[in-house]
Amino acid sequence: MSRARKHNTTPDGESEETQVSRLLIWLSAMAIAFLLAIGTKAWYAGHSTHGYTLWTFSVLVALNMLLFAFTGNRVVQKRALLVIVGLLFTYLIASGGESNTGPLWFYVFPPLLFYLTDLKAGTAMLLFCFLLAAVVFQFPQLPMVTAEYDTDFKIRFFATLTFESIFCFVLEASRLRARNRLIDLARSHEHAARTDELTGLSNRRDMQNKLSAEFSRYQRSGRYFSIALIDLDLFKNINDRFGHDAGDAVLRTFSALMETIIRQTDIAARWGGEEFLVLLPDTSLLQALTLAERLRAGVAATRFEFDGKQLPVTISAGVCSIANASTLDNLLKQADIHLYNAKEAGRNQIAPRVRSQDDMEAQRST
Ligand SMILES: Nc1nc2c(ncn2[C@@H]2O[C@H](COP(=O)(O)OP(=O)(O)OP(=O)(O)O)[C@@H](O)[C@H]2O)c(=O)[nH]1
């Protein structure tokens, strides 16, 4: 099985590895039934050694199933099954099975190999099996080799098996290609569903999920978090005076600037239009206010330009900590109220204004 297949889930949410496991169980069960039935038939037909050998293989397959049931180790189960099947086919070719029809079972091997291993390993194992068959066919006097096949059979056997192997290889390769393309497509769709196209930040839906996750974490562990709701001031004027493209450029530049200022663990999202929300895990109100102030000052100190013209860009922000809000709704409402207050107080500022902040500014101005 290909490496890429191992970590993926099917549309119904089941991992492919689980599907392979289920298939392996079915294959093993079928193999046991077949081996028991054909072994019994051989035994009744007087080929008791052949019958006993097939029964022994059915016991080995059953033991492998039991081993998997106890250990849950799929890799060992797959490898062991391949070894058992490989030994069985070697025996069937060497002994000829009943009426020299043993090699016919070999046709089961190519699809099974490609399904259980990847293309490279499957091809290598198939080549080894071809070599083994060639040796058995060519040297019937070898120890343990009891069958002899006529030339016509050998040629037809190799020709048809080669055709089947190439066919299986091409099918598996195109299946893998199509599957990888689907996975890439699903990934890019998933990314697009979470991302704001213009700024590359998380979009509102993604932020809502992250807020819910953070709130659950807070409920479980009591670890505080804060949010900052940020709005670009008089953004309509920028659009009106410099054009929509200039407005878009401001949104992009601001997003990039914000990402350089916040911590890696903080998450910034475009909440809608010219509004942004930053989620600050493990952050108190005071720390969040400090970060928001740093952002405000950073924006005020940055030269936003479009088409050689300087654009007047400032931000206002409302900050709130979960410590001051019992629910997510309340947290967002309070941040919105603070943002409104910041706008009302003249824009280019952060709210709430806590005493320490006021004090610092008062100290600075004296
Ligand atoms: N260029 C651009 N403009 C946008 C985008 N999304 C929203 N806007 C504009 O943002 C402007 C927001 O204007 P308002 O809600 O009046 O707010 P404001 O002009 O920022 O004023 P205050 O918020 O009170 O400071 C509107 O003109 C929207 O068209 C966008 O993706 N690109």
State whether the beta carbon of 251 lies less than 6 angstroms from ligand 1. Answer: yes
Q: Mutate which of 204, 238, 239, 336 to test ligand 1's pocket (most atoms within 8 Å of Cβ)? A: 239
State whether the beta carbon of 272 lies less than 6 angstroms from ligand 1. Answer: no
Helix or strand holding residue 338 (H, E): helix 328-344
Q: Please check the confidence at residue 326 and state whether its pLDDT lies above 90.
A: no
Q: How confident is the model at residue 2 (pLDDT cuts 50, 70, 90)?
A: very low
Q: How confident is the model at residue 364 (pLDDT cuts 50, 70, 90)?
A: low
**Which residue lies with its CA nearest to atom 14 of ligand 1?**
236
Q: Which active-site residues does the annotation give?
A: 274
Distance CA 232, CA 242 (A): 15
In tens, the pLDDT along 25-46 reads 888 899 899 999 999 998 998 8
Give the pLDDT of residue 301: 96
Q: How confident is the model at residue 3 (pLDDT cuts 50, 70, 90)?
A: very low
State whether the beta carbon of 217 lies less than 6 angstroms from ligand 1. Answer: no
Q: Mutate which of 274, 311, 315, 340 to test ligand 1's pocket (most atoms within 8 Å of Cβ)? A: 274
ipTM of the complex: 0.95
Q: How confident is the model at residue 299 (pLDDT cuts 50, 70, 90)?
A: very high
Q: Please check the confidence at residue 356 and state whether its pLDDT lies above 60.
A: no
Considering only 105-109, 161-165, 344-348, which range has the smallest mean pLDDT? 105-109
DSSP conformation letters of 288-300: HHHHHHHHHHHHH
In tens, the pLDDT along 133-170 reads 888 888 888 888 888 888 899 899 999 999 999 999 99
Helix 244-261 vs helix 235-242: crossing angle, to nearest 10:
140
- Mean pLDDT, range 283-293, rounded to an integer: 96
Distance CA 205, CA 270 (A): 10
Q: Please check the confidence at residue 218 and state whether its pLDDT lies above 80.
A: yes
- Mean pLDDT, range 200-211, rounded to an integer: 97
- Mean pLDDT, range 94-113, rounded to an integer: 85
**Which residue lies with its CA nearest to atom 1 of ligand 1?**
247
Q: Torsion over CA of 326, 289, 199 and 234, rounded to 10 degrees?
A: 100
Q: Hey, what domains does the chain have and what are their CATH numbers? A: 3-192 (no CATH), 204-365 (3.30.70.270)
Considering only 106-110, 139-143, 314-318, 352-356, which range has the smallest mean pLDDT? 352-356
What is the model's pTM? 0.69
Long-range contact pairs involving 130-137 (C-beta distance under 8 Å, separation at least 24): 130/158, 130/161, 130/162, 132/90, 132/93, 133/93, 133/103, 133/106, 133/157, 133/158, 133/161, 134/158, 136/90, 136/93, 136/94, 137/93
Q: Is the CB of residue 317 less than 8 Å from the CB of residue 342?
A: yes
